[in-house]
Amino acid sequence: MPAHTALYPTRIVARGGRIGNATRPGHRADSGKIDAMRPTSLGSLRRAVDVGDVPRRGVRDELRDNLIERLRAGDPLFPGIVGYDDSVVPQVMNAILSRHCFIILGLRGQAKTRLLRGLTSLLDEALPVVDGCEINDDPLAPLCAACRTRVQAEGDDLPVAWLPRAARYVEKLATPDVTIADVIGDIDPIRAARGGLHLTDERAIHYGLLPRANRCIFAVNELPDLAGKIQVGLFNILQEGDIQIKGFPIRLPLDVLLAFTANPEDYTARGKIITPLKDRIGSEIRTHYPRTRHDAIAITAQEAWLERTADGAGPIMIPDYVREVVEEVAFQARADKKIDPRSGVSQRLPITCLENVVSNAERRALAAGEGPVARVTDVYAALPAITGKFELEYEGELRGADTVARTLIGAAVANVFGGWFDGIDTRTVVEWFDLGGTLQASDTVSSDALLAAAAEIQGLRELAAHAGAKADAEPPAVAAAVDFVLEGLCAQRKISRSEDWSYEASEEPRARARSGPPYVDPELQMPGAGRGGKKQYN
User: Per residue in 122-172, pLDDT tens?
Assistant: 999 889 999 999 999 999 999 888 899 999 999 999 999 999 999 999 999
Q: Which residues contact 147 (CB under 8 A, 6 or more apart)?
A: 130, 133, 137
Q: Closest Cα partner for 92 from 296, 83, 101?
A: 101
Q: Judge contact between 358 and 323, C-beta under 8 A.
A: no
User: Per residue in 335-356, pLDDT tens?
Assistant: 999 999 888 899 999 999 999 9
Three-state DSSP at 261 gives strand
* Helix, strand, coil share (%) of the chain residues, nearest 5: 45, 15, 40
- Mean pLDDT, the chain, rounded, equals 84
Residues 33-46, mean pLDDT to the nearest whole number: 78
Gap between the Cα atoms of 285 and 98, Å rounded: 14
Gap between the Cα atoms of 186 and 184, Å rounded: 7
Decide if pLDDT at 523 tops 60: no
Q: Which amino acid is at 12?
A: I
pLDDT for 23: 36
Q: Judge contact between 488 and 413, C-beta under 8 A.
A: yes
Decide if pLDDT at 21 tops 80: no
Residues 426-432, mean pLDDT to the nearest whole number: 94
Three-state DSSP at 495 gives strand
pLDDT for 11: 32
Q: Closest Cα partner for 444 from 537, 385, 359?
A: 359
User: Per residue in 365-394, pLDDT tens?
Assistant: 999 989 899 999 999 999 999 999 999 999
pLDDT for 314: 67
Q: How confident is the model at residue 228 (pLDDT cuts 50, 70, 90)?
A: confident
Decide if pLDDT at 515 tops 60: no
What is the CATH code for 3-286? 3.40.50.300
Decide if pLDDT at 211 tops 80: yes
Residues 34-48, mean pLDDT to the nearest whole number: 81
Q: How confident is the model at residue 30 (pLDDT cuts 50, 70, 90)?
A: very low
Q: Which has the minimum average pLDDT: 18-27, 55-64, 382-391, 522-531?
A: 18-27
Decide if pLDDT at 10 tops 70: no
pTM of the full structure: 0.81
Residues 322-341, mean pLDDT to the nearest whole number: 95
Decide if pLDDT at 535 tops 60: no
The proportion of the chain whose per-residue pLDDT surpasses 70, expressed as a percent, equals 83
User: Per residue in 464-508, pLDDT tens?
Assistant: 999 988 878 899 999 999 999 999 999 999 999 998 889 999 875
Other beta carbons less than 10 A from residue 348's beta carbon: 17
For the stretch 238-271, what's the b/e string if a residue is b when 16 or more beta carbons lie within 10 angstroms of its beta carbon?
beeeebebeeeebebebbbbbbbbbbeeebeeee
pLDDT for 417: 96
Decide if pLDDT at 260 tops 70: yes
Q: Which has the minimum average pLDDT: 82-96, 109-123, 160-174, 271-285?
A: 271-285
Check residues 271 and 217 and name the one with the higher pLDDT. 217
User: Per residue in 263-287, pLDDT tens?
Assistant: 887 666 555 888 888 888 999 999 9
Q: Which amino acid is at 133?
A: C
Decide if pLDDT at 52 tops 90: no
pLDDT for 19: 29
pLDDT for 471: 79
Q: Is the dihedral of CA 21, 25, 26, 30 positive or negative?
A: positive
pLDDT for 247: 64
CA trace torsion 125, 112, 274, 344 (10° rounding): -170
Q: How confident is the model at residue 249 (pLDDT cuts 50, 70, 90)?
A: low
Q: Which residues contact 296 (CB under 8 A, 6 or more apart)?
A: 83, 289, 290, 327, 330, 331, 347, 350
What DSSP element (H or E) covers 105?
A: strand 102-105
Gap between the Cα atoms of 289 and 501, Å rounded: 34
